[in-house]
Amino acid sequence: MAWTKVSTNTTSWISADAETDAVSANAYASDGSSVLQQFITFLATRGWTGSLTPAIVDSGTIISYSYFIQKTAVCEDGGSTTWGFEIRYLNYTTSTDTLKMYGWDPSSDVVGATAYMNADVGTQYILSGKWSYWVSDEDSDSFAVIPGEGGMTRCIGFWPHSGEMFSQGYQNTNFPRYSGLKPLCHSSLSFEGTASNGLAEGVTRLTGVSSGSTGMNPQPFKLDYMWMLNSYDRPIFRSFGGDIGSYLDPTMAGQSIFGPNQSTYVDSMLIDGKYYIAIGQYQKLLLEVGTVPPIF
């Protein structure tokens, strides 16, 4: 039961300004070597489907490159749900490129009107470097995306084990607007909204420990489970035992592990002789890697 790094992109993401042509590095290369194409190639090993040839629309001043990806995953109730997304890279002739992601319903081929992610490629340094891919040996679904080589060590993508996602994370039957997890994100693994739910809220409901408590055990502690809600109190996923855990600091009120601008922090922790990838600033998602520290 452990997470390992299985591959690293051969191409680095370029944080481009208006004077730099970053399309072949970031969005699309005829040989499939762009960062987004290598990301989709990796997703295929975790049960996702999507073409390596984007839908290209040239409007003169803007050229868009769109990749449509989807996955049907087994949920915690034994049923299955299909998640679909459009990853859209916008190349501007007079300004900085932009990366966006939308919800997409594969059954009707309808794309959501509101972008989950809107990253200015010129300033989103979190995307920089060569993206590395980590997987668990417990299943064939879970993964984490951590740019390390040549960039900032942050987590920009995560998916849990098979059977751990809640289909109830959907706002409605069309798009996973509030599902809380997307396979790629530019600054945080955030749920929609800014309410202080998430790890602390889930732990409160299961253990009686408050996120703002200074009660019987005010020191941070590790838990062998993760229970994640979104900001609308819909459950996102839960993991009991195995190589996914959590690290809770009960003295930090309102610190959601998937809160905006917090969840991308990545470090390693040694707890009881085992190393973990620790994702989060105060409340942390823990991915067990074994007795050897992870190299990002």
pTM of the shown model: 0.86
pLDDT tens-place string over residues 138-190: 999 999 999 877 767 888 888 999 999 877 545 444 444 444 577 887 555 43
Q: What is the dihedral of CA 18, 20, 23, 29, to 10 degrees?
A: 170
Helix (H), strand (E) at residue 102: strand 98-105
Would the CA dihedral through 262, 268, 271, 275 be positive or negative? positive
Identify which of 54, 192, 171 has the alpha carbon closest to the alpha carbon of residue 116. 192
Average pLDDT, the chain: 79
Is residue 295 assigned to a domain? no
Is residue 296 assigned to a domain? no
Domain ranges, residue 145:
3-290
Q: Considering the chain, what percentage of its residues have pLDDT values greater than 70?
A: 74
CB 280 within 8 A of CB 257: yes
Is residue 101 assigned to a domain? yes
Is residue 41 assigned to a domain? yes
Identify which of 90, 12, 49, 3 has the alpha carbon closest to the alpha carbon of residue 274. 3
Is residue 255 assigned to a domain? yes
Is residue 124 assigned to a domain? yes
Give the DSSP letter of residue 20.
-
Is residue 206 assigned to a domain? yes
Is residue 125 assigned to a domain? yes
Q: How confident is the model at residue 253 (pLDDT cuts 50, 70, 90)?
A: low
Cα 271 to Cα 211, 239, 276: the distances in Å are 21, 19, 8
Domain count across the chain: 1
Ordered strands of the 284-290 beta sheet: 221-223, 244-248, 284-290, 274-279, 266-271
∠ CA 13-188-240, rounded to 5°: 115
Q: Could you please report the per-residue DSSP string of 211-262? A: TT--SS--S-EEESEEEEE-TTS-EEEEEESTTEEEEE-TTSTT--TT-TTT
pLDDT at residue 286 greater than cutoff 70: yes
